Amino acid sequence: MRHKALVQRSILISLLALPFCALHAQSPSLAATPPMGWNSWNHFAGKVSDADVRAAADAIVASGMRDAGYIYVNIDDTWEGQRDAQGNIQTNSKFPDMKALADYVHSKGLKLGIYSSPGPKTCAGYEGSYGHEQQDADTYAKWGIDYLKYDLCSYGKMMKQQAPGDPQKQWQMMHQAYDKMHRALLHTHRPIVYSLCQYGWDAVWKWGPQVGGNLWRTTGDISDNYDRMSLIGFSQAGLARYAAPGHWNDPDMLEVGNGKMTPDEYRTHMSLWAILAAPLLAGNDLSKMDETTRSILMNKEVIAVDQDSLGKQGDRLSAAGPYEVWTKPLKDGALAIALFNRSEAVYPITVDLSSLGLSGATHARDLWAHKDVGPLQNSYTAVVPRHGVVLLRVSR
C-alpha cells in the first residue's frame, strides 16, 4: 500500500509539473481544417449591428455558402458596451441580446464569433479584456460563442510603455497576454476557436501554437486592392512548415465581392488563399452578391484545395519576375498547382511537371474552368490573364 501511495504521489507531482495546456488541451478536432465563414469588418466596419449579423447568417444559408463549408459568423469590433458593477462585459445598443443572437445563428447550423483585445481598449476604442480575461471568457461561453478574434490593439502601447527600448521584453509580454486568454478559454470547457490578431509580430508562426492559437495573423490588414492583397498573399512564401491541422497561418480575411478588384484579381485572391491553406472568411455584404462573387466564393473545387484533409500549406515553387508557380500537396498523392501572372499583360506560364515527380501521363483538372485538361506529359503551359491565375489539381 505504501508503494502504491508513493507511485500515486509521484504521478500527481509529474502532472502538476506539466504545462497548463498539457492538462487541458484543446479538442484535436477544433480547426482541423482552416476555419471558413464570414467576418463583419471588411464591409460593415464599425456600423455592424445585430440585424446585419442575422442577415449574414440568413444569406450564408440561402446562398449555399453553409453547404460549401462557410460556418462561422464573426462579429468584429464595436459590439462592446460598458462593464456592470461586477465587471461583466455588456453589449451596446447595436447588440441588445448576444445570447439570443447566438441562439439564432446556431439555429441555422452555424457558429458565432466575437472580438476582443488583450488591452484595455479595442482598436476602435471600445472595452477590451485587460484584467477581465477569465470573466470575459466565461461570458462568451455563457452566450454560446464559438470563435474569438483577439486583436493586440492598445496592448501594443502598454508593451512599449512598460518595456521601453526592450523588444524582447515586449514580445514576452505579448506571448503572456495571448496565453492568458488561451488558459481562460480552456477553463470555460467550451470549444472556442482562438484567432490571434497581432499582425505577425515576433514571427508569431513560431510560437502561436504554444499560446493556444488555432490561427494567427501573419501580416498587417488587408484591403480591397490588388497591390495590397498580392503583397500580403505572396509574402507568405516560406511559412508552410508552420501550418498544420488546428494551427494555421492567417493572411487576413477575403475581400472577394467588395468591388474594387477585377474578377481575375478576385480569383487570384481566392486561389492563393486556398494554396496557402488560409482561413476563408468572406468579408463582403452577403445579401448583395452578384453571380461572379458567388461563383468565386463557392467554387467547391477550389475550396477543396483549401480544406484538404492532409492539412498541408502550399508554397512557392518558382518565380521569374512577375510569373510565379505555387504548389500544395493534397491527400492521396495529388497536387494543386497555381500559375500566377502578376504582370500587367497576358502571358504564357509553363510548369515543369517532371520537376514535381510527375513523370509520364498526368491527369489534370482546371478548377476555375471546371474541365479536365490533358493527359499532360512532362510540362504544362497556360496563357494566364493579367493579375490572373490558372489553378490545377493534378494526379498521376
Task: Cite the active site residues.
Answer: 151, 221
Distance CA 194, CA 202 (A): 18
- For residues 348 and 226, the answer to whether their CB atoms sit within 8 Å is no
Joined grid coordinates for residue 312? 498541408
Collapsed DSSP state (helix, strand, coil) of residue 366 = strand
Q: Diameter of the chain by CA atoms?
A: 81
Instruction: Report the distance separating Cα 359 and Cα 372, nearest Å.
Output: 18
Element (H, E) at 11: helix 2-17
Task: Assess contact for 44 and 7: CB atoms under 8 A.
Answer: no
Phi-psi region of 318 (alpha: psi -120 to 50; beta: other; left: phi over 0): beta
> Which residues lie below 8 Å from residue 10, measured CB to CB, with a gap of 6+?
none
Total residue length of the chain? 396
Nearest residue to 338 (alpha-carbon basis) of 373, 389, 372: 389
